[in-house]
A and B are shown apart, each in its own frame.
Chain A
Amino acid sequence: MNAVKSTLDGFTSYRTRVGSLSFILHRLTGLGTLLFLSIHILDTSTVYFFPQLYEHAIAIYRHPVFVLQEIVLVFCVIFHGVNGARIAIFDLFQPRGWNSASQNTTALWTLGIAVVLWLPAAAIMMRNLLMHSFGWFGGA
């Protein structure tokens, strides 16, 4: 990856490992959730400020493209939470546990737990989407 000049032995390369992928994923899921949250505060606030607009906002959220994004959002919230718990527990209670070996193992566990928690939620949301937008499972 990026070559960095080091005074000791010429050049050192930055190797992308599980820990740094986890770092990037934590930031992306966090920023994605913040983007949605900012919009979500405004759309929900219409119930007080412009109640006639709320149904329009909800209609946009019910569009299949938005429902697919919502399924991605749920993954973001779950992954960011599981990985955030990993970071918080190490930082606050086990600061000496931070090393590359424990990072690798716990980052992989984090991803696994997040996927296992997300799959049933994604399945239910997908079922709702197919039912309400495409008339599957008897429609609604």
Chain B
Amino acid sequence: MAELAEQVKIPSNYEAIAWKWMRYSGLALIPLAWFHVLIQDVLVGVHHIDLDYVAMRWASLAWRGYDFLLLAFAFAHGVNGLRQVLRDYIKSDAAMRRLSWVLLGFWMLLSLIGAAAIVGGVRQP
């Protein structure tokens, strides 16, 4: 088995890169997402989060950068994960290709909205 495993050549196509990327981005997300959840959900808590809190946090460029990384890694990881799950259930290649474009559009739209908010920051009403 060990010798056999070494002879397998992994083609460097889109799916192989996506497969590797899911693992590396996943490892990066463990500190990124866990610290985000620990701070916002556990230590601060939803009862202490309001517009002023977000404004205070985003006054620091470092936290904006942190949230930008989180948005970039977590959402792409999630949407590609959804695509992987759908691939197991959708038999038709044509339908899967169409759906992949829909997912790409969904990912781009929400990423752009999120990125615009991080760059634009809090507007006091």
Instruction: Identify 26 residue pairs between A and B in the complex whose beta-carbon atoms are under 8 Å apart, listed by A's number.
Output: A27-B85, A30-B78, A30-B85, A31-B85, A33-B78, A37-B75, A41-B75, A41-B114, A44-B54, A44-B114, A47-B123, A48-B123, A49-B113, A51-B51, A51-B122, A51-B123, A51-B125, A58-B49, A61-B49, A81-B29, A81-B34, A85-B27, A88-B27, A92-B23, A96-B1, A124-B42
Q: Smallest CB–CB gap between B39 and chain A, Å?
A: 11
B34: which of A49, A55, A77, A95 is its contact (CB, 8 Å)?
A77
Report which of A48, A85, A88 forms a contact with B122, defined as CB distance below 8 A: A48
Chain B interface helix/strand/loop/mixed: helix
Instruction: State whether A70 touches B46 (Cβ < 8 A).
Output: yes
B34 touches A70 (CB 8 A): no
Interface of A is mostly: helix
Chain A residues near B (Cβ < 8 Å): 27, 30-31, 33-34, 37-38, 41-42, 44-49, 51-52, 54-55, 58, 61-62, 66-67, 70, 73-74, 77-78, 81, 84-85, 87-88, 91-92, 95-96, 121, 124-125, 128, 132, 140
Residue of A nearest to B1 (CB): A96
Interfacial residues, chain B to chain A (CB-CB below 8 A): 1-2, 5, 20, 23-24, 26-27, 29-30, 33-34, 37-38, 41-43, 45-47, 49-51, 54-55, 71, 74-75, 78-79, 81-82, 85, 110-111, 113-114, 116-117, 120-125
